[in-house]
Structure 1
Amino acid sequence: MSASPVLITGGAQRLGRHCAERLVDDGHPVIISYRRERPALDALRERGIVTLAADFSTEAGILDFLERLKAETSSLRAIVHNASDWAPDITGPKAGENFERLFRVHMLAPYLINLHGRALLEACREPQRDIVHLTDYVARKGSRKHAAYAATKAGLENLTLSFAAMYAPAIQVNAIAPALIMLGEGDDDAYVAKVKAKAVMDMVPGPGVIYQSLRYLLDNRYVTGITLPVDGGRHLR
């Protein structure tokens, strides 16, 4: 157990929430950021998880979050960049705005949080400190309908390499690149069959595999600058 909390951005739902709850189960204090108020946050707060509202779609919102984070804690054991926006490409006059928003959420927010959070990580008295970027399988494959999303996630993957080199050996920086891990509301049997057919493992595994991957990185002192694929062997198709 670490006395310094783990920060998970976008920790109010799905993968972020699962990892936050599992970390608490394992005895770690946790801080999450969230974009909007939702009932699930009350359950997280009851478990002792600190919740900080954040708008990563603007630089001002990112910097405001950082000020409140520094007021909340003097150290961090790890930073897990999970906040994401699965937005499709659009055409017309707002196409540029759409790309810029995804850039700020997927790249500028992690970039600034890593820079400002370095001192918080270095203040942790544990022998290991980590930054983990949640990227995406499509960062290397591209996407016909989510080109801006894929490109900005690829940028986040590249930031992994840069920060790993900058912060070694005191802070390890790695990435996890999942394919589809959880189903969404309204996903029907046809969609499930289509998803399963994309990977040789023929399954939708659920969020536990991401926590296993996160724990591997948080517990291994000799791994930095890698992207860990969690995609069921899609590259084998």
Structure 2
Amino acid sequence: MNNPVLITGVGKRIGYQLAKHFLENDVPVIGTYRSHYDTIDELTQMGAKLFQVDFYVTAKVDEFCESVKSQFDHLRAIIHNASDWIPEKVERPNDEIFDKMMTIHGKIPYQLNLAFADLLSNTTDDMADIIHFTDYVAQTGSKKHIAYAASKAALENLTLSFATLLSPKIKVNSIAPALIKFNPGDDEAYKQKAVNKALLPREGGYSEVIDTVDYIMRSQYVTGRCFALDGGRHLK
């Protein structure tokens, strides 16, 4: 049996696409989700081992960690995809929003990396991987999503610390996407405005993310790095 990959937030978009990719290539998937979608049933039928976890509830996080450690002896990778996106009004600071952003994007990856470090070290492959999904705004900030941007910057910094701590058996890298895929309800005016922010005016597409994850996991010589998938926004 191949070493399983643990992916947080597999219910939709990037998490769902990555889970399908691994399952279709005979790589076992352990996944988490907070809300139930039809995709959860699909992934379960494909063989994924899924856990419903609210990462904002400490007891549920502890229960999840114990369940995984009791059922699995090793992991090939942890991919931190679970995310939340809550805008705040600057004129009315909201501590709850800030705490939530820091929890889901900082505290949870910190906890899971430490909780499952032994399982990653036990991989039967040459190396194991931790991949953090950060965001383009970690480097630019955001007027409308200050807490979100700050929390993603914290996650990017965790990449550096864990790469140092867990080397040489475990590689730790991050991926910072900008526009990957529009949502079905996005109107044409919004789409045009969004693509025009990049030198390459288009959606990145899920294949860009999957290819980047595959490259990181194949690599024997890359750790502590952040891979930007942003179409050249930094030069626009």
What TM bracket, shorter-length normalisation?
Answer: over 0.9
Partner amino acid, structure 1, of 2:69: K
Partner amino acid, structure 1, of 2:32: S
Report how far residue 93 of structure 1 moved. Answer: 7.7
Match of 1:236 in 2: 235
Report how far residue 72 of structure 1 moved. Answer: 2.7
Report how far residue 94 of structure 1 moved. Answer: 7.6
| Contact 1:57–1:102 (Cα < 8 Å) also in 2 | no
Mapped partners of 1:139, 1:58: distance in 2? 25
Equivalent runs, 1:58-69 vs 2, <5 Å: 58-69=57-68
| Contact 2:10–2:31 (Cα < 8 Å) also in 1 | yes
**Which ranges in structure 2 are unaligned for 5 or more consecutive residues?**
none
Report how far residue 91 of structure 1 moved. Answer: 6.0
Q: Does the residue aligned with 1:120 lie in a helix, a strand or coil? A: helix
Match of 1:81 in 2: 80
Q: Does 1:55 align with 2:54?
A: yes
Report how far residue 67 of structure 1 moved. Answer: 1.3
Paired-residue identity, %: 42
Report how far residue 62 of structure 1 moved. Answer: 2.0
Report how far residue 212 of structure 1 moved. Answer: 0.6
Greater shift, 203-212 or 94-103, is seen at 94-103
Mapped partners of 2:122, 2:89: distance in 1? 43
TM superposition outliers: structure 1 runs of 4+ over 3 Å: 90-94
Q: Does 1:196 align with 2:178?
A: no
Equivalent runs, 1:75-154 vs 2, <5 Å: 75-90=74-89, 95-154=94-153
Partner amino acid, structure 1, of 2:4: P
Report how far residue 55 of structure 1 moved. Answer: 1.1
Partner amino acid, structure 1, of 2:168: P
| Contact 1:59–1:104 (Cα < 8 Å) also in 2 | no
- Report the TM-score, using the length of structure 2 for normalisation: 0.96
CA RMSD of aligned residues (A): 1.4
Q: Does 1:226 align with 2:197?
A: no
Report how far residue 58 of structure 1 moved. Answer: 3.1
Match of 2:185 in 1: 186
CA 1:171 to 1:136, structure 2 compared with 1: closer, same or farther past 3 Å? same
Q: Does the residue aligned with 2:50 lie in a helix, a strand or coil? A: strand
Report how far residue 92 of structure 1 moved. Answer: 8.0
Equivalences, count? 236
| Contact 2:16–2:39 (Cα < 8 Å) also in 1 | no
Mapped partners of 2:67, 2:186: distance in 1? 37
Partner amino acid, structure 1, of 2:181: M
| Contact 2:87–2:145 (Cα < 8 Å) also in 1 | yes
Report how far residue 50 of structure 1 moved. Answer: 1.0
Q: Does the residue aligned with 1:176 lie in a helix, a strand or coil? A: strand
Q: Does the residue aligned with 2:172 lie in a helix, a strand or coil? A: strand
Q: Does the residue aligned with 2:183 lie in a helix, a strand or coil? A: coil
Report Cα offsets for 1:126-174 as digits up to 9, x if no partner: 1120000000000000000000000000000000000000011010000
Match of 2:22 in 1: 23
Greater shift, 86-95 or 173-182, is seen at 86-95
Report Cα offsets for 1:58-94 as digits up to 9, x if no partner: 3333222211221231110000000000111146888
Q: Does the residue aligned with 1:28 lie in a helix, a strand or coil? A: coil
**Which ranges in structure 1 are unaligned for 5 or more consecutive residues?**
none
Match of 2:157 in 1: 158
| Contact 1:58–1:104 (Cα < 8 Å) also in 2 | no
Greater shift, 215-224 or 180-189, is seen at 180-189
